Amino acid sequence: MSRDFANLQLKLLKEERDIEVNETLAMLNKYHPQALQKRGLGLTNLSICSIKTGAAGRTVIQLERDRSLPQNLPTHLLRTGDSVRLTPYSAPQKDAKTPTGVVLRITKTSVTVVLDMLDDEQVPLYQARYWIVKLVNDATFKRMTLAMEKIRDETIELTQLARILLQDPLIASPTTTEAICEIKFFDSMLNESQKEAVKFALQANHVAVIHGPPGTGKTSTLIELILQFLARGLKVLVCGPSNISVDNIVERLSRCNINPLRIGHPARLLSTVLNHCLEYRILLSDDRPILHDIKSELDTIITRLSKKIRNAKERKALWDSVSALRKEYQKREKACVEKIIKSSHCILTTCHGAGSHYLNAHKFDVVIIDEASQALEASCWIPILKGRKLVLAGDHLQLPPTIKSKSDRKGPGTLDYSLFDRLLHTYREKVTRTLEIQYRMHEKIMRFPSDSLYHGKLKADEKVKGHLLSDLPDVQETEDTTQPLIFYDTIGGNFPEQITDEEEFKLLVESKSNEMEALVVKKHVIALTNAGVKNEDIAVITPYNAQVGQLSILLGDLFINLEIGSVDGFQGREKEAVIVSLVRSNDKREIGFLAEKRRLNVAMTRPKRHLCIVGDSETVSRDSFLKQWIQFLEDEADVRYPDVYETVQYRK
Ligand SMILES: Nc1ncnc2c1ncn2[C@@H]1O[C@H](COP(=O)(O)OP(=O)(O)OP(=O)(O)O)[C@@H](O)[C@H]1O
């Protein structure tokens, strides 16, 4: 099994990587720097304004636009944490490598990059001008591939945990220990299903899955579980598919008097967790003074090297010193890091970050992966190979990881079939406990997703089951704010969808929009805000990117703090009021990717007090799940039929 499994994963990963890398290469080959800048993917005419030595002895450079140009950077899509390539304009030295790095900081006028290369004296720092371009981060694929190669390698002995996860026929299926009678819970607020999940995960010998439907306090449950493991003297590695999923847990743990260690590129972390990151811990260590001295010496030499030195002997001597100092720095830093990691019982990083060289020699009693239903299985294996026991948390009924490679099939054997899905499917309640009380949605908003997807098991907590917008301070009682569920049915063909071509990198992607629906949304947002609901308490979401554009044009300037975005981008978030524009309205009753239940589930479970749906009941009822939903809305929601002539007035 392990061989076949690893071979299939390697094949799927390669297909996915090829698509990503080829798209980027095609784009880089096709466009010159100015055109990349125009698309927001690059910045041109930059010069170095400062050079410093950062963590791990890496060179950190700050770039600004040439003095002859306006000092503000042109509009761009570069973000902190992006990988970039830095190319000099003038002909590079023979054999010179083009440096790459990670964006550390971006201001209106400058971009700061931490260079990846450590021992390369060819980095042409003295060049006058550079341009930078955003790259695909290939490192993720490399680490996932490495994990799969380890599983495939029959000379490497797999842990009991790995063999259970790979359904090795020689190993019994997952087991639990004797029931733990007395648990003293740290959080006295936990409900029964949360307590049961914690207990179950403590008792599991190798693997436990916590299924957390929307709003059910999955993070609170995980925090309790981590505290329980730590109280038992166990060493815990906590991971998630994204930096934000990990940082959320770091923030929550630090409020519980735990001092977790966060491993990750500081440029990619929330500012609120930086005091837990490894680099900060190094600053607090006894080794700091000596590391600081080496850094200062490096800074001085690197600054000299950034001016063009014509004497080759002198340049060589300076680079030799840089190289020696960097080695010294890395040796001392490595020893310091080892001490910090050894003494930390709770380490947090992304699944990909678990493959960091810092953790190479370290094993953990427990690996916890949050949002596991959104992680590729191969990425989960990076931390799993370091652990004895695994706890996964997530919700397989919300959206899976986003991938680019298309498959005709769904389910087992595809790249977006997660480990979470696989374990639920294979072992069901033998490994799973589900959280049942949700603390987000009004009961009426919860009812349909609960009945149709969660076997009717979700219950709304007393505090939220009847809460309305009109209960918020300064919000008046109106026909809108006293309704938890409103459905604007645009049936009749007067609110038709449009096909819009969207350019995404080099590809023209067909997307759908619906101007008339956007106008109905505008009318509703105006009604809510006139009643006193704050802009920032409202989100407008839609499955189609072209409709996000349409809505932004109509509403963006009018309501600065209103959030407008795609359903996929809103997973994991919540707002007091959410308006969903379904977009599809056509004679053929085509519904495209609206038919994905998991996307609809995300859309309908984001609001706390008010859900407003705008859509054409006739078109969308083509799909059986949507048909059930529409029937539910017709029975339970305040159904409204917008008037065409009144709606077009909102174009103004
Ligand atoms: N047992 C509880 N009693 C009261 N409130 C709770 C309880 N558990 C969680 N909550 C509240 O519910 C909200 C969501 O909880 P939490 O942040 O832990 O969930 P989450 O995992 O982030 O959300 P989701 O379930 O959508 O993934 C928080 O405001 C939290 O305080």
| Residues 530-581: tens digit of each pLDDT | 999 999 999 999 999 889 989 999 998 899 899 999 998 898 899 999 999 9
Q: Whose CA is nearest to atom 9 of ligand 1?
A: 217
Tell me: pLDDT of 488 over 60.
yes
Same domain? 295 vs 357: no
How far is C-alpha 137 from the geometric centre of its chain's CA atoms?
Answer: 14
Q: Whose CA is nearest to atom 29 of ligand 1?
A: 439
Query: Which of 231-240, 269-278, 501-510, 539-548 has the least mean pLDDT?
Result: 501-510
Judge contact between 264 and 350, C-beta under 8 A. Answer: yes
Reported as a pLDDT band with limits 50, 70 and 90, residue 506 is very low
Domains contained in the chain, number:
4
Reported as a pLDDT band with limits 50, 70 and 90, residue 480 is very high
144 assigned to some structural domain: no
pLDDT at 504: 46
280 assigned to some structural domain: no
Mean pLDDT of 342-365: 95
Same domain? 506 vs 628: yes
Same domain? 304 vs 377: no
Tell me: pLDDT of 59 over 50.
yes
Q: Is 37 exposed, middle or buried (0-12, 13-18, 19+ CB in 10 A)?
A: buried
62 assigned to some structural domain: yes
452 assigned to some structural domain: no
Same domain? 133 vs 54: yes
Q: Whose CA is nearest to atom 3 of ligand 1?
A: 189
Q: Whose CA is nearest to atom 30 of ligand 1?
A: 217
Can you tell me which atom of ligand 1 is nearest the CA of 218? 21
Mean pLDDT of 329-335: 90
Q: CB under 8 Å to 638, separation ≥6 — which residues?
A: 479, 483, 485, 486, 487
Judge contact between 190 and 581, C-beta under 8 A. Answer: no
Query: Which of 3-7, 341-345, 602-606, 631-635 has the least mean pLDDT?
Result: 3-7
Same domain? 133 vs 217: no
pLDDT at 368: 98
Mean pLDDT of 115-135: 71
Mean pLDDT of 405-420: 84
49 assigned to some structural domain: yes
Distance 219 CA to ligand 1 centre (A): 7
Beta bridge partners of 207: 390
Judge contact between 605 and 215, C-beta under 8 A. Answer: yes
CA distances from 201 to 80, 177, 366, 434 (A): 36, 10, 10, 12
Can you tell me which atom of ligand 1 is nearest the CA of 439? 12
Can you tell me which atom of ligand 1 is nearest the CA of 214? 26
pLDDT at 510: 67
The three state secondary structure string of 181-248 is CCCCCCCCCCCHHHHHHHHHHHHECCEEEEECCCCCCHHHHHHHHHHHHHHCCCCEEEEECCHHHHHH
* Rounded CA separation 90/107 (Å): 26
* Rounded CA separation 206/1 (Å): 19
Mean pLDDT of 40-47: 90
Decide which of 97, 112, 139 is a domain's last residue: 139
* Rounded CA separation 124/48 (Å): 11
Q: How many residues does the chain have?
A: 652
Mean pLDDT of 174-183: 76
pLDDT at 507: 40
Same domain? 389 vs 368: yes
| Domain carrying residue 546 | 460-649
Check residues 135 and 461 and name the one with the higher pLDDT. Answer: 461
Can you tell me which atom of ligand 1 is nearest the CA of 248? 22
Judge contact between 265 and 81, C-beta under 8 A. Answer: yes
Same domain? 7 vs 105: yes
Decide which of 418, 435, 452 is a domain's last residue: 435
Spatial CA neighbour of 380 closest among 396, 392, 397, 389? 392
- 3-state helix vs strand vs coil in the chain, percent to 5: 45, 20, 35
Backbone angles phi, psi at 354, to 5 degrees: -65, -15
Backbone angles phi, psi at 362, to 5 degrees: -110, 140
Q: Which of 190, 198, 219, 436 to mutate to test the pocket of ligand 1 (most atoms within 8 A of CB)?
A: 219
Judge contact between 210 and 429, C-beta under 8 A. Answer: no
Mean pLDDT, all residues of the chain: 90
Q: Whose CA is nearest to atom 28 of ligand 1?
A: 217
Q: What number is the ipTM of this complex? A: 0.95
Mean pLDDT of 373-394: 97
Same domain? 211 vs 108: no
Same domain? 414 vs 516: no
Same domain? 168 vs 243: yes
Spatial CA neighbour of 56 closest among 265, 341, 333, 361? 333
Mean pLDDT of 213-237: 97
pTM of structure? 0.88
Decide which of 340, 355, 373 is a domain's last residue: 340
DSSP class per residue in 400-460:
----SS--S--STTSTT--HHHHHHHHHGGGTEEE--EESSS-HHHHHHHHHHHSTT--EE
Q: Which of 439, 454, 601 to mutate to test the pocket of ligand 1 (most atoms within 8 A of CB)?
A: 439
Distance 440 CA to ligand 1 centre (A): 8
Reported as a pLDDT band with limits 50, 70 and 90, residue 269 is confident
Q: CB under 8 Å to 238, separation ≥6 — which residues?
A: 222, 226, 246, 249, 260, 346, 347, 348, 349, 367, 368, 369, 370
Same domain? 23 vs 59: yes
Judge contact between 612 and 442, C-beta under 8 A. Answer: no
Reported as a pLDDT band with limits 50, 70 and 90, residue 401 is confident
202 assigned to some structural domain: yes
Task: Please state, for a pLDDT cut of 90, what percent of the chain lies above it.
Answer: 60
**Tokens representing residue 517 in the block:** 């629906």
575 assigned to some structural domain: yes
455 assigned to some structural domain: no
Q: Whose CA is nearest to atom 16 of ligand 1?
A: 217
The residue whose two tokens read 């990988």 is 83
Query: Which of 67-81, 182-196, 525-539 has the least mean pLDDT?
Result: 67-81
Tell me: pLDDT of 262 over 80.
yes
Distance 507 CA to ligand 1 centre (A): 40
Task: Please state, for a pLDDT cut of 70, what percent of the chain lies above it.
Answer: 94
Distance 267 CA to ligand 1 centre (A): 28
Same domain? 335 vs 389: no
Mean pLDDT of 14-41: 84
Read off the CATH number of the domain in which 80 is found: 2.40.30.270
* Rounded CA separation 481/469 (Å): 5
**What residues line ligand 1, using a CB cutoff of 6 Å?**
189-191, 194, 212, 214-220, 439
* Rounded CA separation 369/239 (Å): 5
Tell me: pLDDT of 464 over 60.
yes
pLDDT at 80: 78
pLDDT at 503: 52
Check residues 437 and 169 and name the one with the higher pLDDT. Answer: 437
Residue type, 376: L
Spatial CA neighbour of 134 closest among 16, 264, 27? 27
**Residues 292, 98, 357: CA angle, nearest 5 degrees:** 50
